[in-house]
Amino acid sequence: MSTVLNISSYQFVTLRDAPALRDRLHAEALALGLKGTVLIAEEGINLFLAGPAEAVRSWVSMLKSDERFADLSPKESWSDAQPFKKLLVKVKGEIIRMNHPTIRPDERGDAGRAPAVEPSTLLRWLDQGHDDEGRPVVTLDTRNAFEVDYGTFEGAIDWRIDKFSEFPDAVLAHKDDFKGKTVVSFCTGGIRCEKAALFMQEAGIDKVYQLEGGILKYFELTDGRHWQGDCFVFDEREALSADLRPGQAAR
């Protein structure tokens, strides 16, 4: 039985105390023997941690005791060994670099997040070939090209970007392709497709959703239908299959 709990999560929330928060989260994770990466910026937090289940969940409870992170809902998977070599907690300019500082989900006020579609709904749409309004559904992979090569949704749009900061220009070059269609942007855990969907909305694409929880949540809550291959992850497991176990590339 696998004994190492792996979690990933993010939250866009304004953090004015990033350096002090970094010190506190690092000390708590270090004391619990956790390894992985936690990125903190004024726009929010992005984390990937692993360790014994009790220790991981203790750290999450500590984090959620801060009301700013009360709604954090980490995605979980298991491994036989620790997939990270060290603990890294850093303050960055952005928790996911897009080079568009005006795209701030935490500062949209009443506008809120970009609309999200649950994994079960996307599965149903893909099964039937259209959304509930009868519009054709296209999936848009917002990840880097090398990640896409491990696996993606059947027929997904892949612009072969090398870094996420290239995504906005790709949207502007292809936005007319989405007329009359429903677009679902997706990524590994949700953070890139959150920013991607907001940018696409601001670019004038009228029917855009993000996949709630990203690929990993889709794997967790569905049977993985319509997915081909594995999902690249940024740790020593390298890739996960639809059952959230190490994929073919890691065997």
CA distance 185 to 214: 9
Return the DSSP state at 115. P
Residues 76 and 118 in one domain: no
By annotation, the residues acting in catalysis are: 187
Query: Is residue 117 within 8 Å of 123, Cβ to Cβ?
Result: no
Residue that is last in its domain, among 59, 91, 123:
91
pLDDT in tens, 141-151: 999 999 999 99
My answer on whether 76 and 142 are in the same domain is: no
Residues 120 and 179 in one domain: yes
Same domain, 87 and 116: no
Give residue for tokens 């850093």.
Answer: 90
Residue 128: other Cβ atoms inside 10 A: 11
- 116-170 pLDDT per residue, tens: 999 999 999 999 999 999 999 999 999 999 999 999 999 999 999 999 999 999 9
Say which CATH number the domain at 129 has: 3.40.250.10
Question: What range defines the domain where residue 53 resides?
Answer: 4-91
Task: Give a yes or no: residue 126 inside a domain.
Answer: yes
Q: In what order do the strands lie in the sheet with 182-186?
A: 116-117, 208-211, 182-186, 137-141
Residue 105, pLDDT above cutoff 80: no
Residues 80 and 111 in one domain: no
Give exposure, 51-78, as e/b (b: 16+ Cβ within 10 Å).
beeebbbbbbeebeeeebbeebebbbbe
**Segment among 19-23, 45-49, 233-237 with least mean pLDDT:** 233-237
Neighbours of 154 (CB within 10 A): 10
DSSP state, 83? -
